Amino acid sequence: MSAPIICGGSVYVRAAGQCHGLCGKPDARLVIAYPESGWYAPIVYCECGDMWGEEGLFPRPFARGWRQRKQTQFVARWDTAHPEGTKPVYDDGDHMLTGVKVASPILDAKETP
Ligand SMILES: [Zn+2]
């Protein structure tokens, strides 16, 4: 099932998985940002404040308190992100984001005969 998407920007989806940054937790809380264009790889934000993409860990800012700020941003992203299992839907032609396939155990259960 597809749902309409709010225009512009990335789609944020909750996940649990391996941190490739500071905390190194195997089951870290992650938010995956799928970009508007399907030509670009998603960016992963970890609860510890680190982020990475297909080319590895992003550089850490040379600024006092940056990790605390990133962790605060993470909580805000987590609170508004789509539930785990949500998939972005890209247009076949220009590969632009057209919607999301929302993970919904309740709806899936109703669709099962
Ligand atoms: Zn981490």
pLDDT computed for residue 5 by the predictor: 46
pLDDT at 8 over 70: no
Q: For residue 107, which amino acid is it? A: L
In a domain, 48, yes or no: yes
In a domain, 90, yes or no: no
In a domain, 1, yes or no: no
Number of domains in the chain: 1
Mean pLDDT along residues 54-81: 96
In a domain, 106, yes or no: no
Beta carbons within 10 angstroms of residue 13's beta carbon: 22
pLDDT at 69 over 60: yes
In a domain, 2, yes or no: no
In a domain, 110, yes or no: no
* Residue 5 CB contacts under 8 Å (≥ 6 apart), including other chains: 11, 97, 98, 99, 100
What residues have their beta carbon closer than 5 A to ion ligand 1?
19, 21, 23, 28, 46, 48
Q: Which domain holds residue 29?
A: 7-85
Ligand 1 midpoint to CA 66 (Å): 14
Mean pLDDT along residues 67-86: 96
Ligand 1 midpoint to CA 10 (Å): 21
Containing H/E element for 33? Answer: strand 28-34
